[in-house]
Chains A and B, each alone.
Chain A
Amino acid sequence: MQKSIDISGQLRASRRRENIAGYVFMTPALLFFVGFVIFPMGMCLVTSFFNYTMTDFTFIGIQNYVEAFNSPIFRRAFMNTLRIVVVSVPTVCLFSLWVASVTYDMNDRYTSFFRITFYLPVVMGSVAIAVVWKLILRKDDGILTTVLQMLGLNLQPRFGWLGSPSTALWFIITILFTTSIGQPIVLYISALANMDHSLVEAANVDGATKMQTFWRIKWPQIMPTTLYILVITTINSFQCFALIELLTSGGPNHSTDTIMYYIYKVSLDAPYRYGYGSAMGVLLAIIIAIFSAIQFKYAQTDNG
Chain B
Amino acid sequence: MDRSVQKVTVYRVVCIILLIILVLLFMFPLYWMITSSFKNGPAINANPPIWFPGAEHRTLDNYHTIMQRPIWRWLFNTVFICGTSMLFTCIASTMGGYALAKKKFTGRKLLFSLFVAAMALPKQVILIPLLKQMAFMKLSNTLWGVILPTVGWPFGVFLMKQFSETVPDEMLEAAKIDGANETRTFTQIVLPLVKPGIGALAIFTFISTWNDYFLQLIMLNESRVQTLSLGIAKTMAEFNINMGPLIAGAVLSAVPILTVFLIFQKYFTRGITMGAVKG
The residues of A with any CB-CB pair to B shorter than 8 Å are 15, 18-19, 21-41, 43-44, 47, 99, 102-103, 112, 114-136, 138, 141-143, 146-147, 149-150, 178, 183, 186-187, 190, 210, 224-225, 228, 231, 235, 238-239, 241-242, 245-246, 260, 263-264, 267-268, 274, 277-278, 281-282, 284-285, 288-289, 292
In the bound complex, CA of A125 to CA of B88 (Å): 23
A99 x B151 contact (CB < 8 A): no
Mark each residue of chain B from 19 to 39: 1 if its CB lies under 8 Å from any CB of chain A, else 0. Answer: 100110011011011001000
Q: Would you give the shortest CB distance from B75 to chain A, in whole angstroms?
A: 14
Q: Would you give the shortest CB distance from B127 to chain A, in whole angstroms?
A: 8
The residues of B with any CB-CB pair to A shorter than 8 Å are 8, 12, 15-16, 19, 22-23, 26-27, 29-30, 32-33, 36, 44-49, 88, 91-93, 95-100, 103-106, 108, 111, 114-115, 118, 120-133, 148-149, 151-154, 156-157, 182, 186, 207, 210-211, 213-214, 217-218, 229-230, 232-233, 236, 243, 246-247, 249-251, 253-254, 257-258, 261-262, 265, 269, 272-273, 276, 278-279
Q: Would you give the shortest CB distance from B176 to chain A, in whole angstroms?
A: 10
Known: A23-B105, A125-B254, A186-B272. A267 touches B26 (CB 8 A): no
A128 x B273 contact (CB < 8 A): no
B125 x A102 contact (CB < 8 A): no
Known: A29-B93, A117-B27, A141-B47. A277 touches B128 (CB 8 A): yes
Q: Can you identify 27 A-B contacts, CB atoms within 8 angstroms?
A: A23-B105, A26-B99, A29-B93, A33-B152, A36-B149, A37-B149, A44-B126, A103-B19, A112-B265, A116-B262, A118-B26, A119-B261, A120-B30, A127-B229, A127-B232, A128-B253, A130-B236, A131-B246, A131-B250, A183-B272, A224-B279, A225-B276, A239-B122, A242-B214, A268-B131, A289-B120, A292-B120
CB contacts (< 8 Å) of A147 on chain B: these are 49
A241 x B126 contact (CB < 8 A): no
Closest to B265 in A: A116
In the bound complex, CA of A40 to CA of B123 (Å): 11
In the bound complex, CA of A138 to CA of B47 (Å): 12
CB contacts (< 8 Å) of A150 on chain B: these are 48
B236 x A246 contact (CB < 8 A): yes
B29 x A117 contact (CB < 8 A): no
CB contacts (< 8 Å) of B46 on chain A: these are 141
CB contacts (< 8 Å) of B26 on chain A: these are 117-118, 120-121, 178
Q: Would you give the shortest CB distance from B273 to chain A, in whole angstroms?
A: 4
B121 x A36 contact (CB < 8 A): no
Choose one: A24, A114, A284; the contact of B125 (CB below 8 Å).
Answer: A284
In the bound complex, CA of A210 to CA of B16 (Å): 17
A102 x B19 contact (CB < 8 A): yes
Q: Would you give the shortest CB distance from A100 to chain B, in whole angstroms?
A: 11
Q: Would you give the shortest CB distance from B175 to chain A, in whole angstroms?
A: 13
In the bound complex, CA of A120 to CA of B259 (Å): 11
In the bound complex, CA of A254 to CA of B84 (Å): 38
